[in-house]
């Protein structure tokens, strides 16, 4: 009896080991199949488009040994989501940077779910806005930090890369495609200037005009101090629409970013301040009616005070906690 019992226990133990081994093997094969399929898609396109079924199979369903960054968006023209298109361009730049980097591996994939291709995904995640960036870790469910707060940090490729690094410990260096429009514009400008100098070669007195040189110098200063070079390098969006309220934001809420419209606003404010100083200077050097001089000086002083206060207000909105203000908060 004891021999039979021992034999039965051994048989049962062997069956258990075999079952566990088969389950483990199936699990490994399942993960391997997923990774192989995702890698094949990734080699074709840096951003993998997922439908509802593919999202459940490759993102939601365990087992997984890879991280998934998913952008949930609405790119169809009838959705009229201009922010979605801008965010998609930045997201594609980041995905391409990862796809062609030396660190590229099958531990991280970038995917996209369009609302018209997977509305059930939005319902399952209880989302009613777009775009949304989410990180799905290899194990467990996404936590609070696995959703990117685009209202706070924006959706520039560099900002998304920093967030991805925080969630996955994978650092991605963003490589933007070269933009030759600036070079062509500069070449065209020099061509026009060269042509003008050639046509006016017998009458170059305008080169000694102090006012022309002053206006040109101010134009360069305004462009640089307003952030036009930053725009050329980073390629930020024109403005931002709040997905919750629909309100348009022209000033970026962080000191680490800016919008194109913001640079124009800063440029106009700087121009108005300089115009005020010019009026005060002209009032001082003006000869004649004292009343006219007083009016000109007061107008100039008003321009300087009002527009400098607005400029300081913009600065305060970007650098939270800045203690100083003047006229406007």
Residue 303 confidence (pLDDT) above 70: yes
In angstroms, rounded to a whole number, what is the distance separating the alpha carbons of residues 72 and 90?
Answer: 14
Q: pLDDT value at position 11?
A: 46
List for the chain the helix, strand, coil content (%; round to 5).
60, 10, 30
Residue 37 confidence (pLDDT) above 80: yes
CB 63 within 8 A of CB 27: yes
User: What's the mean pLDDT in 114-131?
Assistant: 89
Residue 95 confidence (pLDDT) above 90: yes
Task: At 126, give phi and psi (nearest 5°).
Answer: 60, 50
Q: pLDDT value at position 22?
A: 43
CB 270 within 8 A of CB 228: no
> Is the pLDDT higher at 322 or at 184?
184
pLDDT tens track for 239-254: 777 777 777 777 877 7
CB 249 within 8 A of CB 239: yes
Q: Of 79, 75, 78, 105, give the one whose Cα is nearest residue 88.
A: 75
Q: What is the pTM of this model?
A: 0.54
């Amino acid at each position: 009896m004891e021999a039979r019992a021992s034999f039965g226990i051994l048989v049962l133990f062997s069956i258990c080991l075999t079952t566990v081994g088969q389950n483990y093997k199936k699990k490994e094969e399942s993960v391997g199949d997923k990774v192989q399929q995702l890698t094949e898609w990734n080699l074709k396109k840096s951003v993998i488009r997922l439908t509802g079924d593919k999202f459940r199979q490759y993102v939601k369903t365990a087992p997984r040994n890879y991280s998934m960054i998913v952008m949930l968006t609405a790119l169809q023209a009838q959705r009229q989501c201009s922010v979605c298109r801008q965010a998609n361009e930045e997201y594609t730049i980041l995905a391409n940077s990862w796809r062609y980097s030396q660190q590229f591996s099958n531990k991280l994939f970038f995917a996209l779910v369009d609302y018209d291709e997977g509305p059930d995904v939005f319902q399952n995640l209880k989302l009613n806005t777009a775009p949304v960036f989410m990180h799905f870790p290899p194990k467990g469910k996404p936590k609070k930090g696995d959703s990117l707060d685009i209202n706070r940090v924006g959706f520039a490729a560099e900002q998304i890369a920093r967030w991805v690094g925080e969630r996955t410990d994978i650092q991605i260096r963003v490589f933007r495609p070269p933009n030759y429009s600036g070079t062509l514009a500069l070449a065209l400008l020099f061509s026009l200037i060269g042509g003008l100098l050639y046509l006016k070669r017998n009458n170059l007195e305008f080169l000694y005009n102090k006012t022309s040189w002053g206006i040109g110098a101010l134009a360069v200063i305004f462009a640089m101090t307003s952030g036009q070079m930053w725009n050329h390098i980073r390629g930020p969006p024109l403005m931002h629409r709040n997905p919750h309220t629909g309100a348009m934001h022209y000033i970026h809420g962080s000191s680490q970013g800016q919008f194109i419209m913001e640079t124009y606003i800063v440029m106009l404010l700087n121009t108005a301040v300089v115009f005020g100083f010019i009026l005060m200077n002209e009032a001082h050097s003006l000869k004649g009616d004292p009343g006219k001089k007083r009016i000109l000086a007061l107008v100039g002083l008003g321009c300087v005070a009002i527009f400098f206060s607005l400029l300081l207000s913009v600065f305060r909105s970007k650098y939270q906690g800045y203690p100083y203000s003047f006229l406007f908060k």
